[in-house]
Amino acid sequence: MARVQLDLQPSVDRSIVPPLTETTRLEAHEIIARYPKARSALLPMLHLCQSVQGYVSPDGIALCSEELGLTKAEVGAVATFYTMYRRRPAGSYHVGVCTNTLCAVLGGDEILAALEEHTGLHHDQTSADGTISLEHIECNAACDYAPVVMVNWEFYDDQTPQSAIDLVDKLRAGEPVAPTRGPLRQCTFKEMSRVLAGFPDGLATEGVQAGPATLAGFELAKERGDLAPAYPDEADRVQGSAQKQEDS
């Protein structure tokens, strides 16, 4: 397949970034109301800001600071610590390639190299048209289906360099694609961010949730009749704890 050299997105042009509106602030209040302490709402509020603007902008940091009574430095420290928060606009389809141990052994590095060669993008870069961004991920928590590529945190299992290239080309062309497991359609980065902010999209129960490789150990345990030890009731637990203290 011919290489598709994507132009890189330039520095953020804030004039074309959607503004955070009064609706955003009202939804932030809704998030805050879920928690006994307001500052506990920071993580989902950052996702809410991403769901509007596609990244955590200075305006997003300011909104969180104002509503939670935190300094901008405190909010920024959290936003820069967690890699799911983007400091520049992500693509509509944020592609993450795992190269941790099992994925690496099974071809993760080759997949990442193929996508870099095909698109001209590298880690943390976004195409000028805003469709694709690329991330080099250490672990996608899906070793049972390695090598794995994720798009907006949805799984594409058992990938090869060619299948990953085909996936990216379809996403750029606007063709419908569906994750290997989970929802029956691929969400956008902003849609995913809204779900992570705590506003469900109703797709959580769609599609396959756990495939045969994930359930292999469970099925073997059932076949052998394995049972987990019974959990002690509260009285036995308290008595056992008291006995240990006396013995010590």
Q: What is the distance between the alpha carbons of residues 97 and 159, in angstroms, rounded to a whole number?
A: 10
Check whether domain 18-81 has CATH 1.10.3470, yes or no: no
Q: How many other CB atoms are found less than 10 A from the CB of residue 4?
A: 14
> Domain map of the chain by residue range?
18-81, 93-186
pTM: 0.84
pLDDT at 54 over 90: yes
Query: What backbone phi and psi angles, to 5 degrees, belong to 134?
Result: -125, 140
Residues 27-37: tens digit of each pLDDT: 999 999 999 99
pLDDT tens by residue, 91-123:
999 999 999 999 999 999 999 999 999 999 999
Per the structure block, which two tokens stand in for 229? 């030890």
Check: CATH 3.40.30.10 for 93-186?
Answer: yes
Q: What angle do CA 140, 214, 225 make, to 5 degrees?
A: 145
Long-range CB contact pairs, 103-110, < 8 A, 24+: 103/140, 103/143, 103/146, 103/147, 103/148, 104/147, 105/146, 106/146, 106/147, 107/147, 107/159, 107/160, 107/161, 108/146, 108/147, 108/148, 110/161
Q: What is the per-residue pLDDT for 241?
A: 65
pLDDT tier, 68 (very low <50, low <70, confident <90, very high otherwise): very high
Share of the chain above pLDDT 70, in %: 88
pLDDT digits (tens, 9 = 90+) for 166-225: 999 999 999 999 999 999 999 999 999 999 999 999 998 998 888 888 999 999 999 999
Q: Tell me whether the CATH fold assigned to 18-81 matches the one assigned to 93-186.
A: no
Torsion sign (Cα): 139, 141, 142, 143: positive
Q: Which amino acid is at 55?
A: Y
For the chain, what is the mean pLDDT? Answer: 90
